[in-house]
Structure 1
Amino acid sequence: MDTQEALYTALDESRGEVRLVLIEPLASSVALVRCTLETVSLLDLSEDFKTFMGSPKNYGNHTRPLSFRQTTTRWQSHLRATSPPTTLSPTTDRFTWGDYAALSYVWGNDQQVRRNIIVNGVTVSATHNLEAALRRMAVRGTFSTTNGRYHIWIDALCINQADEAERASQVSRMREIYSGAWAVKAWLGSSYDESDEGFHLLRRLAGLSEEDQATLGETLENNPYLFGKGCFFGLHELMSRPYWSRLWIVQEVILGGSATELHCGDDALDWNTFCAGLAVLYRGDNRMWTIKDKLLVQELEERGDRRLDQRWQTIGMHLVFQDLRHLSRIEEEGGHKLGLRRLLEVAGTSDCRETRDKVYALVGMMDPCVAGKAIESYEEPVSVLFAAVARAFIELHHNLEPLRQGNPWGPQKGPTWAADWTWQGRMRWSRPEAVMLGPLWSMLDPGAAPETIYNAHSGRQARYSFSSDGKLLMCAGFIVDKISGLGASQETYFKWREHDQVQFREWKSAYGGNEATAKALYSALLLGRMANGEKLQDRHAALLTMPARWKNAGPQFEKRGWSWLVGRRDYWFRWSRWRRVHEMFRLGNKTLGGYFSDVIPQGAVESDYIEVWCAADRGNKERRFMLTEGGYLGWAPDNLSGHDEAHSVRPGDFIAIMLGCSAPLVIRPCGATFEVLGEAYIEGFMDGEATCLLDEGHFHVEQFTFC
């Protein structure tokens, strides 16, 4: 009998059965970890909990059903109010068999050193990280068989990994399991690299008053050891751990919400405190974002650490602050499920072992209709899965917004109208709906919905259908223009391919004279929007007097006492290099550089320049400047992840507006069908102007088939 046969019998889905683990107390520090695997039903509710759920006051009087997490949170609050402090016992358990937590951890590479554990008397090989987490819990005895009522769900042990059908079924229940857990135990690993100092720093930051937070930057400049030595190094190392690069943790932590407990060695920190501490670093008015860099370098030098890159690695921090913190709050408040654009952004922040897990690691974040279609495609090729998800979003919302995420550059080579979840060219900070980092905006704001930013289609209803094999999308739309000139494509985040610019010297501005064209130019470079999708104002013409080079910008900022912009010195390179590369790009009878001045006028206000610098830095990411045959200008899609000459935009590509899609697309004929090359920005066509021309007969609606 193999391990699977010895440990696993079929689960009864109609009974809501799952397997849970109890951990035996550790006999000695060198003994093997021993566990008991039990099958229980999540439908076997205790009488007290059933009574609580049936009470209109606590559950039944809501306009929509409470989420699993909301129900659990309300139960825990009820217990604290009636008999504090809350401890797990037969009177607090939600189930007849007790209660459970769920473990969130990094599986790790299968080739790493593994450890044996004993499960129901059977020797099982576990990853080193899982064994370390189990050993820690065995020492503490929380989930031990001596307690007998507090179980823990662990994917590697509670799912029969050799049974594909069971894996698919359990993946579909991840939302129920993690959202319904009494707590989610997030295991970040053993304590090393002063991680305890990182936890200590976050506790201290979270406990600061609003007044102290506002002046923290200045305070730390005068007293860098305010929180002790090594704390910024410890936080940096903590946020650089492999845990934050694992995509599955996104769903697990979000569904756990405020019930998530982060464990690192012997130390633990609750989720709300963890997030509140990180939030202090994102405050624009205390300059902490730049000061933390200086403090890290100082602590590295004091440690004798000569690593080449001494900057903060902020991927883990952005993941927590921009995604996990905000989305866990939405989950607890019973908010809306994630749209496709947001899911793609989250999926791009982390890695997973299997490509299809880019989707399956987030099914708990999706609308049930979309999640169901994804689960149906569990054993299909990855390209089929991606197309099925895009189609599910189109059919759910009856619009063609998902086409904005399509392009031919994805490595899975699926339909161009369906987003490839593995394409590396997406950048969260390029989105016009995103909140911009700076002293003028609160990063607590989640940003506007993507479909509300532009209205190129004037809200016209989508008309679409799919081929029988799901590979082709047929839809209605109209062509408005052709690409005629192109600026440089982006080679990396830091540089552009100056040689591949395509000049169009016959271009004649559709906007009018030089003054009107200048206004169109700065509007296009700013994507026509400020933070949260707010439309531009005349004061944003400040972009035309924002110096290209730091040697011209810095002294003027210092002279005016513009402290925030003075601190942008190390970040000015993108604006400077984009301007340099496009200085001689022709806009009819004038060069692009000829529309700019390096002299900031008298009476200028720093906040205007902060806004336009942030928006311009966002605008040239993932986009390539373009001109059209009709005399318009804007942005074409660009492939930051690699140079694909065959699919790069080129003169002659069409700009089209699809009914039911709020932004224009660049498309290209491909035999009898068309390819989607990506989303475009056309100054003068983003707010319904093209549909007015359509109604006047300048354009005509036709049927497009996208492959």
Structure 2
Amino acid sequence: MSTTNLTTSGDSQSDSLYAPLRDDRDEVRVLTLEGIHDDGLVHSRLETVSLLDYSPNYSAFLTSSTGKTELPRRILRSWTGLCFPQTGHNPAGSKNRWKQRPHAASCRFAWGDFAALSYVWGTSNKERYIVVNGITRRVTRNLEEALRRLARNDEFRGEYKIWIDAVCINQEDEQERAIQVRKMRQIYSSAWKVISWLGENDAGGWMPKAFAFSNMLASLQDDSQDLRMLCNVKSGILTDAGFHAMHEMTRHLYWHRLWIIQEVVMGASYTVLRCGDHHLDWDTLCRAIAVLYHGDNWSLKDEMLGRAYRRGISTHKVWTTSSLHLIHLDLRHLSHYEDEGTSTERLGLRRLLEVANSAKCLEARDKVFALAGMMEPEIANEITKAYSLDIPQLFAAVTLAFIKHYNNLEPLRQGNPWGPQKAPTWAADWSWKGRLRWSRPETPYVGPLWDVSDPGPRPEEIYNADGGQPACYMIPDNSLLLRCDGFIFDEIVGLGAREYGIFEWVKGTETQCSSWKSCYGDDQETAQALARLLLGGSTVGEHEQAKGCYEAVLSLPSTFKAGYPQFCAKKWSWLENREGYYYKWSEWRKRHNHMMLGKRRLESFFTDNIPEMTEESAYTAAFVGIDRTVKERRFMLTRSGRFGWAPDNAFDRDGDKNQVRVGDLIVIVFGCSTPLVIRRFGEQYQVLGEAYVEGIMNGETLGLLKNGSFKQQSFIFC
């Protein structure tokens, strides 16, 4: 889906194609492909149908034990199980669902049935023509190629139709587009299948090779998923060309289009990737990518792509992994929910913002609406009503919808004044580029310790800085202001270097504080507090394999050069292969070693020598925990003698202008589990984002509030 207008020829005839749709009848338009005629063009017929117009057999089925309250994908699976018993309830048969085509007896509607197309629109300077109800229309090249391929194979004739956003929605009717946006989840979740069109075969023929390589990876069981071992046992089964092919597939423009996320998830196991006449079902792709996350396979994939680069096969030395993370961490779990209706929850606000940041769309508002299907239904319904609002108001409405639904102020953690759309600072700007994956305390670890499919705790369950006090807030006079209660706890008096991109910290951006004195106790107690800070005080210590990780932080070598001989001597193979990923820790240390914590330099709290009788699991946990914690955060010192993390703005190129400053305040807001950094702005305050302050993340300050050390007040955030 896109809200960009479709250019047509014969605009004066568009009314004959697009009679108004009746929303009360759940009307949509579907396309029948009539083939390629003598003029060389794809001819089609567009008709209006109702999604409530069930066939007698399907209507009887819905009133039976299945019921209408189940998820659409579960209903369809039960229905196809009756119509196609050889694959309908067989999990292994899901890979053949793309072959199923509804026949007269299995059609769910009186008018037939339909599939939905998911594709990249492409650029308007490469337009082609199709014929719809006798009218010649311009469409993008990518869509024309898809329709030509489908028409050539006679896949959507007769009772089997196809829904395509660019043709089935009147793109010139803003009201209709708004209504159809609300229907996107329903359309894709109700489709007989979702065709993810990746284009015709690429010049190198890598896409079909990637499909074959994915099928091979997905077939591996248990121990055979150790790809290094597999290479030794079965020489030639894994090739650098195969890894290059998969890399090319996941780099495809398709995965960088935000609207596909909702479309693929709603299709779930009824989604099939298609390149020309080559097919790969969604379940197979997910299983194949999951293998890359197994054990040391993550490092092996880099090595194999490096080989392909040296042989001149690949133009890339290292993997572009954003699509891998998108599929494995987000789409796989959400599509499983659509299939099974398990206890998996919808994505929270932070995860949605990360996903929005991982792909592109033509309009800033689409950052929200392209993901509406991923939200809790009550939130999605509230948000889609705000379709016509301007962008700042829209972003404020989205944040407020999350606040009201969960009755807490957790969304304020995602606010800041640095977004390009100039939304209120308390409202998340969905177009801000500063959010990074693997930077949240709730993010599962990437490594050999735990299954990354573990969703982990909810963000608000990790910290409890507000002591569980209920949120108290209001929106004054329907304005873009937010009033809420809390108290000022501390003030920033020193800052570490600010991050620049994801690879370095800017030299000379530190601010020392000569008067700072640790409130944690002596040097040993301060060192222990520093170790907790570097892991964000996370729950990692609850994992049996990660015991000792806090102590390990203080002796984790500051550079890979210093650590490698020790890793080899101890036969810690996973850490031996971290050279390409060690930069976060080594660069952070490099820029902060000279920071003064009282009378001692920060580096004096650490050693590069790993003690004897230590466990690799503790150091692995420390390594991946630090790598996560230092992203998107800036080291800070506070007036009360504490240290912590302030929000960073790593992708801003305007010097220190759009950054946290000395003098910014640290506040506890009731209903928000972490402190916030705020800044006075006249009589009001700006929200700069969430903070972590070591030693106050579990409600310790509430006692000080009760004894009068702090004063409760109302803040007006602008």
TM-score grouping bracket, smaller chain normalisation: over 0.9
1:585 aligns with 2:595: yes
Superposed displacement of residue 310, structure 1: 1.2
Alignment match, 2:242: 231
Aligned-partner residue type, residue 130 of structure 1: L
Which sits farther off after the overlay, 421-430 or 462-471? 462-471
Length, aligned pairs only: 692
Alignment of 1:91-490 (within 5 A): 91-111=105-125, 113-144=126-157, 148-192=158-202, 193=204, 194-213=206-225, 215-220=226-231, 225-227=236-238, 230-284=241-295, 287-303=296-312, 307=315, 309-334=316-341, 335-490=344-499
Query: Is the CA contact 2:541–2:549 (under 8 Å) kept in the aligned structure 1?
Result: no
Give me the whole-angstrom Cα distance separating, in 2, the residues matched to 1:537 and 1:509. 26
Superposed displacement of residue 530, structure 1: 4.7
1:570 aligns with 2:584: no
Superposed displacement of residue 274, structure 1: 1.1
Alignment match, 1:675: 686
Give me the whole-angstrom Cα distance separating, in 2, the residues matched to 1:103 and 1:491. 40
Query: Is the CA contact 2:495–2:512 (under 8 Å) kept in the aligned structure 1?
Result: yes
Give me the whole-angstrom Cα distance separating, in 2, the residues matched to 1:141 and 1:87. 12
Which sits farther off after the overlay, 149-158 or 293-302? 293-302
**TM-score normalized by the length of structure 2:** 0.93
1:633 aligns with 2:646: no
Alignment match, 1:89: 103
Query: Is the CA contact 1:447–1:532 (under 8 Å) kept in the aligned structure 2?
Result: no
Give me the whole-angstrom Cα distance separating, in 2, the residues matched to 1:534 and 1:166. 52
Could you give the per-residue CA deviations for residues 494-549 of structure 1, whole angstroms, max 9, x where no partner exists?
A: 11112111111111111110111001001001101155997985542111001102
Give me the whole-angstrom Cα distance separating, in 2, the residues matched to 1:538 and 1:531. 10
Aligned-partner residue type, residue 582 of structure 2: W
Superposed displacement of residue 649, structure 1: 1.2
Could you give the per-residue CA deviations for residues 625-664 of structure 1, whole angstroms, max 9, x where no partner exists?
A: 0111101111000001204533421121111111000111
Superposed displacement of residue 221, structure 1: 5.9
Which sits farther off after the overlay, 113-122 or 690-699? 690-699
1:78 aligns with 2:82: yes
Query: Is the CA contact 2:439–2:629 (under 8 Å) kept in the aligned structure 1?
Result: yes
Give me the whole-angstrom Cα distance separating, in 1, the residues matched to 2:542 and 2:273. 35
1:69 aligns with 2:73: yes
Superposed displacement of residue 697, structure 1: 2.4
4+ runs deviating over 4 angstroms: 82-87, 221-224, 530-539
Give me the whole-angstrom Cα distance separating, in 2, the residues matched to 1:256 and 1:105. 13
CA separation of 1:446/1:83 partners in 2, compared to 1, >3 Å: closer, same or farther?
closer
Identity of aligned pairs, percent? 46
Give me the whole-angstrom Cα distance separating, in 2, the residues matched to 1:41 and 1:336. 31
Which sits farther off after the overlay, 695-704 or 476-485? 695-704
Alignment match, 1:689: 700
Give me the whole-angstrom Cα distance separating, in 1, the residues matched to 2:209 and 2:100. 29
Query: Is the CA contact 1:453–1:533 (under 8 Å) kept in the aligned structure 2?
Result: no
Aligned-partner residue type, residue 67 of structure 2: Y
Query: Is the CA contact 2:549–2:621 (under 8 Å) kept in the aligned structure 1?
Result: no
> Secondary structure of the residue that 1:126 maps to in structure 2?
strand
Give me the whole-angstrom Cα distance separating, in 1, the residues matched to 2:375 and 2:648. 28
CA separation of 1:115/1:533 partners in 2, compared to 1, >3 Å: closer, same or farther?
farther
Alignment of 1:553-632 (within 5 A): 553-632=563-642
Query: Is the CA contact 1:4–1:162 (under 8 Å) kept in the aligned structure 2?
Result: no
Give me the whole-angstrom Cα distance separating, in 2, the residues matched to 1:3 and 1:253. 33
Aligned-partner residue type, residue 40 of structure 2: A
Alignment match, 2:664: 653
Could you give the per-residue CA deviations for residues 67-107 of structure 1, whole angstroms, max 9, x where no partner exists?
A: 22222222222333389896512221111111111100000
Give me the whole-angstrom Cα distance separating, in 2, the residues matched to 1:77 and 1:445. 30
Alignment match, 1:527: 536
Give me the whole-angstrom Cα distance separating, in 1, the residues matched to 2:542 and 2:369. 31
Give me the whole-angstrom Cα distance separating, in 1, the residues matched to 2:57 and 2:368. 37
Superposed displacement of residue 493, structure 1: 1.1
Query: Is the CA contact 2:556–2:608 (under 8 Å) kept in the aligned structure 1?
Result: yes
Could you give the per-residue CA deviations for residues 559-598 of structure 1, whole angstroms, max 9, x where no partner exists?
A: 1111000000121122111111111100012111000001
Give me the whole-angstrom Cα distance separating, in 2, the residues matched to 1:668 and 1:133. 53
Query: Is the CA contact 2:499–2:506 (under 8 Å) kept in the aligned structure 1?
Result: yes
Which sits farther off after the overlay, 153-162 or 500-509? 500-509
> Secondary structure of the residue that 1:24 maps to in structure 2?
strand
Superposed displacement of residue 346, structure 1: 1.1
CA separation of 1:21/1:531 partners in 2, compared to 1, >3 Å: closer, same or farther?
farther
Give me the whole-angstrom Cα distance separating, in 2, the residues matched to 1:537 and 1:524. 16
Aligned-partner residue type, residue 692 of structure 1: G
Query: Is the CA contact 2:493–2:637 (under 8 Å) kept in the aligned structure 1?
Result: yes
Give me the whole-angstrom Cα distance separating, in 2, the residues matched to 1:648 and 1:468. 31
Aligned-partner residue type, residue 318 of structure 2: R
Could you give the per-residue CA deviations for residues 372-406 of structure 1, whole angstroms, max 9, x where no partner exists?
A: 33222222211111001001111111110100000
Aligned-partner residue type, residue 59 of structure 1: G
Query: Is the CA contact 1:483–1:627 (under 8 Å) kept in the aligned structure 2?
Result: yes
Give me the whole-angstrom Cα distance separating, in 1, the residues matched to 2:435 and 2:480. 23
Name structure 2 gaps, 5 residues minimum. Answer: 1-10, 89-98
Alignment match, 1:702: 713
Which sits farther off after the overlay, 359-368 or 669-678? 359-368
Aligned-partner residue type, residue 675 of structure 1: Q
Give me the whole-angstrom Cα distance separating, in 2, the residues matched to 1:37 and 1:426. 42
Give me the whole-angstrom Cα distance separating, in 1, the residues matched to 2:515 and 2:390. 47
> Secondary structure of the residue that 1:541 maps to in structure 2?
helix
Query: Is the CA contact 1:466–1:474 (under 8 Å) kept in the aligned structure 2?
Result: yes
> Secondary structure of the residue that 1:279 maps to in structure 2?
helix
Aligned-partner residue type, residue 320 of structure 1: I
Name structure 1 gaps, 5 residues minimum. Answer: none
Aligned-partner residue type, residue 135 of structure 1: R
Give me the whole-angstrom Cα distance separating, in 1, the residues matched to 2:232 and 2:22. 61
> Secondary structure of the residue that 1:14 maps to in structure 2?
helix
> Secondary structure of the residue that 1:468 maps to in structure 2?
helix
Aligned-partner residue type, residue 480 of structure 1: F
Could you give the per-residue CA deviations for residues 138-160 of structure 1, whole angstroms, max 9, x where no partner exists?
A: 1111102xxx1111110000000
Could you give the per-residue CA deviations for residues 464-495 of structure 1, whole angstroms, max 9, x where no partner exists?
A: 00022330000001111111111000122111
Query: Is the CA contact 1:481–1:656 (under 8 Å) kept in the aligned structure 2?
Result: yes
Aligned-partner residue type, residue 312 of structure 1: W
Give me the whole-angstrom Cα distance separating, in 1, the residues matched to 2:484 and 2:85. 56
> Secondary structure of the residue that 1:417 maps to in structure 2?
coil
Could you give the per-residue CA deviations for residues 234-277 of structure 1, whole angstroms, max 9, x where no partner exists?
A: 11111111100000000000011001011012100111111111
> Secondary structure of the residue that 2:67 maps to in structure 1?
helix
Give me the whole-angstrom Cα distance separating, in 2, the residues matched to 1:210 and 1:401. 40
Equivalent residue in structure 1 for 2:505, among 486, 492, 496:
496
1:542 aligns with 2:568: no
